[in-house]
Structure 1
Amino acid sequence: MSPQLYEFHLPLSPEELLKSGGVNQYVVQEILSIRNLPSQLRAFQAAFRAQGPLAMLEHFDTVYSILHHFRSIDPGLKEDTLEFLIKEEPPHPGSHNTPARRRLDTLQPYAQ
């Protein structure tokens, strides 16, 4: 069975991520409430540590919601989010054999 292919379109504005996408396109399913963001950020962090960058796909709504509410959220949550995103680096060139890296390698670019 061949891997599922995804199209990645760079939006011109963040609001474009709220529009219904086509088949295999990522869009925001739900803008989370400010009240739920701390627990959702912790869930994203745990998933990222376990799954690597693929966790971003599963928790896309969390990251988008933090950006959406950025001016209104607690400064501590802003700091935790930015610190986490800065500290969590992609694998270094010599670390090609990690489980997360092997999963990333199964993703195929979209060919038109």
Structure 2
Amino acid sequence: MHEMAMAQGIMDIVESYARKNDAKKVRVVSLIIGEMAGVVFESLEFCFKALAEGTVAEDAELKLHRTPLLGQCNDCGWQGHIVKYNFFCPKCNSAKVDIISGRELRVEYLEVD
């Protein structure tokens, strides 16, 4: 379950930020997660809650925002949603498609007291 490793990384960021800013309580942790990151939201929430017990992030709300997997064709200029990981351009069938979003996994912001 890679969600536990992700949750631990998020907790490391949260605790480091809280220490640096003398925060007593973390209220909200907002995450941006790309469609291609392969994260099961429910698993990530479960792991985060387990790790947050007894810390400044206990009872923090996780706000999870999924970004779609979008691509751009270098041959015809098409831009759009990549469906079922098919990285061929649906317009010209080129294999020269760059990913422009959907791989993100980052802390967007924290709300603290």
TM-score under structure 1 length normalisation: 0.29
Larger radius of gyration: 2
More helix by share: 1
